[in-house]
Amino acid sequence: MDSGKSKKMVFVTVGTTCFDALVKAVDSPHVRHELWSKGYTHLVIQMGRGSHFPSKFSGEDGSLAVDYFTFSPSIADYLKSASLIISHAGSGSIFETLRLGKPLIVVVNEDLMDNHQRELAEELADKKHLFCASPQTLHQIINGMDLDSLVPYPPGDSVPVAKLINRFFGFPDN
Partner 1 sequence: MEEYLEAGFPKLVLLFVAIIISLIAIRLTYVFLRSGKPFVVPPERVSTMIVLGSGGHTAEMLSIVNVLNKERFSPRFYVSAATDNMSLQKAQVLEQSLLHQGKGNAEAAQFMQIYRSREVGQSYITSVGTSLIAIAHAIWFILKIRPQVIICNGPGTCIPLCVAAFMFKAAGLRWSSIFYIESIARVRKLSLSGLLLYKLHLTDQFVVQWPQLQSKYPRSQYVGRIM
Residues that bind partner 1 (CB under 8 A): 15-16, 90-92, 95, 113-114, 116-117, 119-120, 122-123, 155-171, 174
Question: In the complex, what is the shortest distance from the CB of residue 167 to partner 1, in angstroms, rounded to a whole number?
Answer: 7
Complex with partner 1: residue 110 or 123, whichever CB lies closer? 123
Closer by beta carbon to partner 1, 6 or else 74:
74
When the beta carbons of 5 and 127 are compared against partner 1, the nearer one is 127
Q: What share of the chain is helix, strand, coil (3-state, %, to 5)?
A: 35, 15, 45
Smallest distance, partner 1 to C-beta of residue 171, A: 5
* Sequence-distant (≥ 6) Cβ neighbours of residue 41 within 8 angstroms: 5, 6, 7, 8, 9, 59, 64, 65
Environment class of residue 117 by beta-carbon count within 10 Å: exposed (0-12), middle (13-18) or buried (19+)?
middle
**Which residue number, 22 or 64, has a Cβ lying nearer to partner 1?**
22
Which residue, 29 or 155, has its beta carbon nearer to partner 1?
Answer: 155
Task: Single out the residue of 24, 52, 41 nearest to residue 134, CA to CA.
Answer: 24
d(CA 121, CA 109): 11
- What CA–CA distance (Å, rounded) separates 86 from 15? 11
Output the smallest distance, CB 161 to partner 1, in A. 5
> What's the min distance (Å) between Cβ of 52 and partner 1?
19
In angstroms, what is the minimal distance from the CB of 57 to partner 1? 32
List Cα–Cα distances, 72 to 33, 44, 63, 78, in angstroms: 27, 12, 26, 10
User: Which residues, including other chains, have CB under 8 Å from residue 140's CB and lie 6 or more apart?
Assistant: 133
